[in-house]
Amino acid sequence: MPTDSHIVRADVFSAEDVPDNSLRPKLLDDFLGQSEIKKNLKVFIDAAKQRNEPLDHLFLIGPPGLGKTTLAQITANELGADFKVTSAPALDKPKDLAGILSTITPGTVFFIDEIHRLKPAIEEMLYIAMEDFELDWVIGQGAAARTVRIPIPHFTLAGATTKAGMVSKPLQTRFGIVQRLRFYDDNELADIIRRSAGILGTAIDDDAAMLLAGCSRGTPRVTNRLLRRMRDYAQHAGSPVVTSEIVREGLEKLGIDNLGLENYDREILLSIMNNFGGGPVGAETLAISIGESQDTLEDYYEPYLIQCGLIQRTPRGRIVTQKAYEHLGMTPASDSLKGQGSLF
């Protein structure tokens, strides 16, 4: 069965995601889901505007595709401030950071994605910029070298990461506002689907929206990708409306099941079942068995499989659950059941 392995990979940015900018909400009132974060940001932004001050530095934590970049953009819009965006890997040398910060306007929201990947020299320069709104710059070379501090406008740094544990403590403590995004539930995703469908000029049934939401892995980025594909299937079928029948047929053709699992997800489960007797098996061994990197396995595939209750992490390794066997229509070997019982 054919499958597009990128359509449910929220951590992989594809060229098709560029049009999704039209689907991004521009204001907090238009942003669906993450209600507690929205309420908090609303208070902080309103207070900063009343004091005519830049917003405190903002730290956004969460898996890919949940709206960290969108919230940073919304923050700039709500503040009426400029928005500059970059990613940590793009900042190769301190002069790259200095070049950006020396040209910003007062109150700018400066967004750094994947902030856990900042190089130490750039991170140290950022400390002073965040606290003192100055840049340390070395003039000259050798014995004649001297350091000068260059003032920069007060700005708001918005940092985003999928790996909060990899962000150094000195950097974390310099953020005044820390918000952790969660996965979306099906009702929130269905609302996002209906909103996006309206922007795209596509009609979709409520049943179809809920069906699509249930296999979107709790992630709006995946939801919008799937909606675009279902729109294509509906157009091909000559239907003016995306129906639940079209969604079921479309998902089957894409190799995506009702839990949002795609080919690699099922390969992981089947590898543990067939090659390792249901587990336990270590992450490195499992990654080799499916031809995927260990980082991708641990950072992307595993969290969702754990969230769905299909695998469990134990001190001895990964094991599949009874629910995984039932989902794939397989019967566990008696030995694998005994092995699971002995672990808990």
| Cα–Cα distance for residue pair 294/285, rounded to 1 Å | 9
| Cα–Cα distance for residue pair 313/324, rounded to 1 Å | 14
| Cα–Cα distance for residue pair 67/73, rounded to 1 Å | 10
Which residues are 150's β-sheet partners?
135
| Cα–Cα distance for residue pair 149/138, rounded to 1 Å | 9
Residues labelled catalytic: 68-69, 113, 162, 221
Q: What does the block give as tokens for 328?
A: 């794939």
Q: Peptide bond before 170: cis, by omega within 30 degrees of 0? A: no
E strand residue ranges, the chain: 58-61, 83-87, 109-113, 134-139, 146-151, 156-161, 177-180, 203-204, 241-242, 311-314, 317-320
DSSP codes joined into one string, 27-74 = SGGG--S-HHHHHHHHHHHHHHHHHT-PPPPEEEE-STTSSHHHHHHH
